[in-house]
Structure 1
Amino acid sequence: MQIFPESVREAWNEWELRAMVLISLALQTILILIGNWRKHSTSNILRIVLWLAYLSADSVATVSLGILSSNQEDSEGDSVNPNFVITAFWAPFLLLHLGGPDTITAYSLEDNELWPRHLLGVVVQVIVALYVFIRAWSSKMLNFLAIPVFVVGIIKFGERTWVLRSASSEHFRESMLPPPDAGPNYARYMEEYSSKKAEGFRVEPKTFIEAPIGFDHSDAVQANESSSAQNAAVLNKAYSFFETFKRLCADLILTFHDIENSQSFFQHRSSEEALEVIEFELGFMYDVFYTKSLLVYSGLGGILRCITLSFTVCVFLAFVLITEKQEYMKVDVIITYILLVGAIVLEFYAVVILLSSDWTLLWLSKHKNTAVDLLLRLVSSIALIKNKRWSNTLAQYDLITFCLKERPAKCIFINEDWFINRLLEKYRYRDLKDVSKELKNLIFGQLLEKSRTASNFEASKRKELCARRGDMVLEKAKCLDELGWTINGAEFDQSILLWHIATNLCYYSDLEFYHSPNSEASILKKNSEASKVLSNYMLYLLVMCPFMLPNGIGQIRFRDTCAEAEEFITERKSIKNRETACKMLLKVSTDILPSKVKGDRSKSVLFDACRLAKALQFLESKKHWENNEKKWEFISHVWVEMLAFAANQCRWSDHAQQLRRGGELLTHIWLLMAHLGLTEQFQISEGHVRAKLIVE
């Protein structure tokens, strides 16, 4: 029994290859156009489209090559079917498509680790394409035109494999290992010591330490420079830091000289300037792991780009001029024109991206002359307009809003118990907020203050600072006895939930103070807004990105807490919004510990958080925190310290994975902390010791 009619099967057999080739070109167009957008976009739709295009691109091109190789059976005798000659001309274009665009080589870090599989694919696909090419050889002009396209396709395919290999963890680490250093010749030193001593001289060994290399202020950003010069100076400084601190992404250690240099730079910068340098650095990191930048912006990459572009343009012009096109079907000639024009347009678009990138701006800033200076200003202005380096947003997740079910599902055909519904429900309650200047100032100021408490690079002091997750703020405010159970006596995910709910309860109970006309109200609102934004962001990490937080049972605690909150809301019909819910929760008596009543089977922390909120309100009167200002300043500092702890505990690979999802504030804080010396990945050393003999 035939499922499809004979006419449909014939039409498919005739158009199968043509459709696959055009789809392959369309997928390449999608990848090169939006491949770089994910650096600064948090859109889930973009991620899905890019994921589908990335996975489909190689499969479609591979299947097309398979169809081409099987179509040779249509030829009869020694003559080659003209239709097969022109379709065989498409084979090198499929190799070119398999090479992928410059803007995306790997969808995730795992793709870099699979470079041996890709290398095998290169060999196999090139052999298949050559097989198709040889079987279609008939000494026609089109056969000769396929040779330069083959060169372009192999270059593109080879580039992608080389970049994937370079970005794999093993080779990335090896590329940063310093040359072996045996140190001073100990045997020769001791021979000289023994011989001088045997001759009767009084020999005294003496050691000295090489002076550390200080920070060079000559390349510091000057306020009176032009905007393009300032951008170039910031970019140069960011790249020099990137070359040093990329060792964090290979689990290598930094020297105390590295940290001293970065500290001396960042301690004299504003939060805006410091985080701009971090943005540049993370942009370079994204390019190294997910694009062809490592090769394209090298001397060899420039030569290869000139070869691929010139070869493609020459083949197009030659194809326009040849007269044997009448031998081929008109539709195949049109598709060939589409492939050639598409290849040229994509090459030119890649060149435009190349010229407007930070890497080009960096190169121009290092080669100063009049012509280069003009080009530098042009590229700098384009880069300012086009180059967004991360989303500059914070994802928000509010537990009370989630429990109120204020955003019901739009699709009534999806059962609420299905996995897809639970997944979509999580995303429905995710919001985005811009990272404000005030929030940057708060975070940078707190980290800067913390870094200054560690002097002389004491290992124990640094480890202690990195391990603090809010208790340092409690100690400073002298309320560790009252609130220490929320930090030291709890797991980290438990602390996040406790402080998140308590922050919400305090926020909505203090709403009336925000509308006061005095200046203190604006300060209060600033600190309370910062606390709420950080609180919602940390809950988002707990719910949506638990892999970025220390191991724990955060998902279980969140579900149990939501279940108890939903039960509380359901029983009280008067609760219609977040403000009412928070005020009703604060009215619940917590004189008896919840664990005494409920036991520990349920991991809900809802009413423990109510205890925390009441304790904060009690401290407000006990410590005379007037107008709530000190309370909210205290809460915001707790959240910054918890954020810093989470950033330091997250593995570098998880930070790198988030770069392809628009970036995370947590990743920026992780790198900023390393620059400020708040990291355990550094070598405690005074410098290189040298010894010499004092002979008397």
Structure 2
Amino acid sequence: MGIKNSTTTLAQSWGSIEGRLVRVEVLVLFSALIWVLVEFFGSLRRRYSHGFFRFFVWAVYTLFTVLGPYTIGLLQDDPFRDQTFVLWGTILLVIQVSADSISVYSIHDIEQRKRVLVQHVLQIILVLWLILSCKGQNKSYTATIWIFWIHSVVLTYRKSGSLSNASKKEGLMKSAKVVADYMMSEHELVPQDVTPDPKTMVGYKYIFDGEEQVAYQLPTAPEYRVGFEEGQPRRIIIKSIWSRMKKTRKCTTIDSVWRWIESHNIYTEEGRKIAKDVALSFSLFKLLKRRLCRYQIGEAGLDKTLHFVLHGLLSEEGNYVRAFRVIETELAFLYDFLYTRFDLKVFEYKGFTLYFVGVTVIVWNSISGAFSRHYHRSNLEQVVHGIDVTELVTIVLLSIVLPLSIFPKGFDMRWVILGGIHNTFVSRVRRVKRKHPSFAREAKKYWQRALGQYSLLLNFDYHPWNVLTFLSLGLVAATREGQKAGENIMLTDELIMRVLSGFKEREGQLEDGQWALDRNQLLSQFSWACNLPTDIHKILVWHIGTTIAMDGHPVPPTGDHRVAKSLSDYCTYLAAFIPDMLPGHGYDNQRIFDAVVMEARESLGGCDTVSSRCEKLVKMVLPRDSSCTILELGGRLGRELKGVDPEERWKVLADFWAEFILFLAPSSNVEIHAEKLAAGGEFMTHLWALLTHAGILDRPSTTDAAATGGNRSSTPAHDSLV
């Protein structure tokens, strides 16, 4: 009886006006807190790949999209028509539409943009109804309410543009088509007496700016492509009528941007190098967008395209880390394009917001608003220990929404540099000399720079419980048998240099490891291990062999031993967790891996340590026919590798894996690379982007490789299609 009375009393108090006020206050503050979490963690998700972190960010974002509209709905009741509560509603509206993330988990969320925009428009209409029916005469509150409401309308319009630009059916397809048409004939724009120089970008007329201006233009005969002329986009506005008559448009190219940076004394020497690399990354990002739409890569197969990577990014000085940083920055631009609202237009709009919305709201509220002693008292007062809770909630909301809406978390130094280049060169706005000493350090923060690791002989007996999968009704993906990742390791400069230096040494030829064996005079001994049915066979056989060869030898922090171990475990990690990123069908790769796990459990049962498992594999007797399993082949390879001198063994394994991982990188599965950008990024994605800019879109066929004998592929295989 007592419990029943207590429940009835609680329900009555919860349904009273005071109880509803407490509920609204809690939900309003909680909505603001959720927004803070979305802004903070949303900007961190490309640097962390942990599954729980990704699920947490997704859950917070989902709660954020639901909680705000629900709270705005509660404010529709008559007791909450006061100016104070209407101000809360407008602040919640700004919070809903100003989130910098347009997707937190999948690029496919972008294609649901119409549903998102309809929700925002309905909320704008609901809040407008609140404003028109509100009670109160405080001018500061009235001005703040209307400023926030207008601001939310503008933000919704900007978000609509960002969603449309990132959608394959809208802006992405249009802009990528313009770039694809342009790059089909880009090499013809270079005068015949000019020799392309990738170190200065002379002769490389890659688009830097201007393609958006002509995305709406219909193509013209006979090729039905959009015509271009080199120049500054601002001239498009001045001569728009004449340009339309000629059916051409002007664009800014990267070579002209580099010339301008070199000829104008607005940067320090260090800042000049950084500005050129940022501009180059931005231009390469626009070229890479074509692969998302499966357009032709017109420059693939041209000598100057391969030379751009070999003698430009990978310069004669061997600055491989700088080349990797350019690719990192390029993928950061791609991430912002796909998953956030950040672009140059938003960057300029944020400056306008700072001076208009921020200053105006602060001034108005300092005079007679929430920050003043003469603030508006609502018709529902709630005082706790002498503190007006309603006023406190208003101040907290304003204190949260103003700094976060003005200073987004995602903007970093590269956007500042790019905005400076755009304003001073493209827009012809005068700028003072600037320094950018911190950009090189910040570039390492774009991605987690980590390599996933997996050891088959260590974790094949892992049995997952998958309780969270059951409790979440499948929202959390089930972990497969044996699928236990090791601890991530840092992607060191040594690993980057080892992989890219070999690519430069081979003059851009992709090899499947046989070139490394041939260079170390071991091809005749180990050629059998390179002629396996599929690439997933080869990954697992060489991983098992590498593990056996290293058993009993401590791995040092640097050197060939560390390189071989790190790349071997990373390739196997891809096979276990991201099979779609490897050659062949992703599902086939997954099933082969699962089968090898089951074979290991059957063959190595009773062996509790990695050493005992390696010993058993080495002693395993192979069948006389060709029906060997991957485990048996791996045991044979490990046994033969143990016969090689240790120092030579580590070197040949490091050379093999550094060469083989580049061979695995070309892929037409663009979606998996785009998906992983929102999960910390992958080393394989960076290599894939680098090879794209070298014009290498596919790996050499095995028949072509075999035909060239010990020298392997005499020319890199270039494909004009994705």
Same fold judged by TM-score > 0.5?
yes
Give distance in 2, aligned partners of 1:605 and 1:262. Answer: 36
Give distance in 1, aligned partners of 2:639 and 2:340. Answer: 51
- Please state if 1:564 is matched with 2:606: no
Question: Displacement of 1:37 after TM fit?
Answer: 1.1
- Please state if 1:174 is matched with 2:159: no
2:342 corresponds to which letter in structure 1? S
- Please state if 1:606 is matched with 2:643: no
Query: Which residue among 217, 227, 239 is the counterpart of 2:282?
Result: 239
Give distance in 1, aligned partners of 2:651 and 2:5. Answer: 71
- Runs (5+) with no aligned partner, structure 2: 183-187, 201-257, 382-387, 699-716
Deviation digits for residues 107-127 of structure 1 (CA, Å, limit 9, x no counterpart)? 421122111212222222211
- Please state if 1:108 is matched with 2:115: no
Question: Displacement of 1:88 after TM fit?
Answer: 2.4
Question: Displacement of 1:669 after TM fit?
Answer: 0.6
Residues 83/334 of structure 1: CA separation in 2 closer, same or farther (3 Å cut): farther
TM-score normalised according to structure 1 size: 0.76
Q: Which residue of 1 aligns with 2:337?
A: 288
2:60 corresponds to which letter in structure 1? A
Query: Which residue among 96, 99, 114 is the counterpart of 2:97?
Result: 99
- Please state if 1:580 is matched with 2:612: yes
- Please state if 1:402 is matched with 2:434: no
The alignment partner of 1:101 has SS state of: coil
Q: Which residue of 2 aligns with 1:491?
A: 534
Give distance in 2, aligned partners of 1:63 and 1:137. Answer: 22
Residues 248/489 of structure 1: CA separation in 2 closer, same or farther (3 Å cut): same
2:87 corresponds to which letter in structure 1? F
Residues 568/177 of structure 1: CA separation in 2 closer, same or farther (3 Å cut): closer
Q: State the structure with bigger RCO (CA 8 A, min sep 6), 1 or 2.
A: 1
2:460 corresponds to which letter in structure 1? C
Query: Which residue among 466, 479, 482 is the counterpart of 1:423?
Result: 479
1:582 corresponds to which letter in structure 2? C
Give distance in 2, aligned partners of 1:341 and 1:213. Answer: 58
Indicate if the aligned counterparts of 1:99 and 1:159 stay in contact, CA closer than 8 A. no
Indicate if the aligned counterparts of 2:43 and 2:410 stay in contact, CA closer than 8 A. no
Indicate if the aligned counterparts of 2:543 and 2:568 stay in contact, CA closer than 8 A. yes
Q: Which residue of 1 aligns with 2:313?
A: 266
Deviation digits for residues 568-605 of structure 1 (CA, Å, limit 9, x no counterpart)? 4433xxx4432232123212222535837xxxxxxx52
Give distance in 1, aligned partners of 2:559 and 2:153. Answer: 57
Indicate if the aligned counterparts of 2:604 and 2:613 stay in contact, CA closer than 8 A. yes
2:396 corresponds to which letter in structure 1? I
Indicate if the aligned counterparts of 1:357 and 1:383 stay in contact, CA closer than 8 A. no
The alignment partner of 2:446 has SS state of: coil
The alignment partner of 2:487 has SS state of: strand
Question: Displacement of 1:682 after TM fit?
Answer: 7.5
Indicate if the aligned counterparts of 1:98 and 1:157 stay in contact, CA closer than 8 A. no
Deviation digits for residues 480-523 of structure 1 (CA, Å, limit 9, x no counterpart)? 776555444312222221111111111116x28x89xxxxxx9x
The alignment partner of 2:488 has SS state of: strand
1:62 corresponds to which letter in structure 2? P
Deviation digits for residues 169-191 of structure 1 (CA, Å, limit 9, x no counterpart)? 23212113339989xxxxxxxxx
Indicate if the aligned counterparts of 1:451 and 1:678 stay in contact, CA closer than 8 A. no
Question: Displacement of 1:145 after TM fit?
Answer: 3.3
The alignment partner of 2:60 has SS state of: helix
Give distance in 2, aligned partners of 1:106 and 1:305. Answer: 26
* Aligned residue runs from structure 1 range 16-95, under 5 A: 16-69=23-76, 71-72=77-78, 81=79, 84-95=82-93
Larger Rg: 1
Residues 301/489 of structure 1: CA separation in 2 closer, same or farther (3 Å cut): same
* Aligned residue runs from structure 1 range 247-262, under 5 A: 247-252=290-295, 253-255=297-299, 256=302, 260-262=307-309
Question: Displacement of 1:538 after TM fit?
Answer: 1.1
Deviation digits for residues 322-371 of structure 1 (CA, Å, limit 9, x no counterpart)? 44326442322221111111112313542x764x43110233367499x9
Q: Which residue of 2 aligns with 1:193?
A: none
Residues 445/105 of structure 1: CA separation in 2 closer, same or farther (3 Å cut): same
Q: Which residue of 1 aligns with 2:158?
A: 159
1:339 corresponds to which letter in structure 2? L
The alignment partner of 1:535 has SS state of: helix
Q: Which moved more, 1:92-101 or 1:497-506?
A: 92-101
Residues 312/384 of structure 1: CA separation in 2 closer, same or farther (3 Å cut): farther
Question: Displacement of 1:64 after TM fit?
Answer: 1.2
Q: Which moved more, 1:652-661 or 1:307-316?
A: 307-316
2:592 corresponds to which letter in structure 1? R
Give distance in 2, aligned partners of 1:328 and 1:215. Answer: 72
- Runs (5+) with no aligned partner, structure 1: 73-80, 183-206, 454-464, 516-521, 597-603, 621-626, 686-696
Indicate if the aligned counterparts of 2:454 and 2:484 stay in contact, CA closer than 8 A. no
The alignment yields a C-alpha RMSD, in angstroms, of 4.1
Deviation digits for residues 431-462 of structure 1 (CA, Å, limit 9, x no counterpart)? 11112222212210222234445xxxxxxxxx
1:359 corresponds to which letter in structure 2? W
Q: Which residue of 1 aligns with 2:385?
A: none
Query: Which residue among 631, 640, 663 is the counterpart of 2:658?
Result: 640
Query: Which residue among 388, 397, 408 is the counterpart of 1:339?
Result: 397
Indicate if the aligned counterparts of 1:594 and 1:607 stay in contact, CA closer than 8 A. no
Q: Which residue of 2 aligns with 1:392?
A: 449
* Aligned residue runs from structure 1 range 430-509, under 5 A: 430-453=486-509, 465=510, 469-470=512-513, 473=516, 483=526, 486-508=529-551
Give distance in 1, aligned partners of 2:353 and 2:500. Answer: 43
Give distance in 1, aligned partners of 2:181 and 2:635. Answer: 59
Give distance in 1, aligned partners of 2:443 and 2:637. Answer: 46
Residues 539/323 of structure 1: CA separation in 2 closer, same or farther (3 Å cut): closer
Give distance in 2, aligned partners of 1:386 and 1:19. Answer: 40
Q: Which structure has greater helix proportion?
A: 1
Question: Displacement of 1:395 after TM fit?
Answer: 0.6
Q: Which residue of 2 aligns with 1:462?
A: none
Deviation digits for residues 530-569 of structure 1 (CA, Å, limit 9, x no counterpart)? 1221111111111111222231533333333223323444
Q: Which residue of 1 aligns with 2:9?
A: 7
Residues 160/426 of structure 1: CA separation in 2 closer, same or farther (3 Å cut): farther
Give distance in 1, aligned partners of 2:365 and 2:546. Answer: 65
Indicate if the aligned counterparts of 1:95 and 1:153 stay in contact, CA closer than 8 A. yes
Indicate if the aligned counterparts of 1:104 and 1:292 stay in contact, CA closer than 8 A. yes
Give distance in 1, aligned partners of 2:443 and 2:406. Answer: 17
Q: Which residue of 1 aligns with 2:570?
A: 537
Give distance in 2, aligned partners of 1:364 and 1:181. Answer: 28
Q: Percent identity?
A: 20
Question: Displacement of 1:426 after TM fit?
Answer: 6.4
Indicate if the aligned counterparts of 2:546 and 2:565 stay in contact, CA closer than 8 A. yes
Residues 82/36 of structure 1: CA separation in 2 closer, same or farther (3 Å cut): closer
- Please state if 1:308 is matched with 2:364: no
Give distance in 1, aligned partners of 2:640 and 2:6. Answer: 73
Q: Which residue of 2 aligns with 1:689?
A: none
Residues 43/588 of structure 1: CA separation in 2 closer, same or farther (3 Å cut): same
2:457 corresponds to which letter in structure 1? I
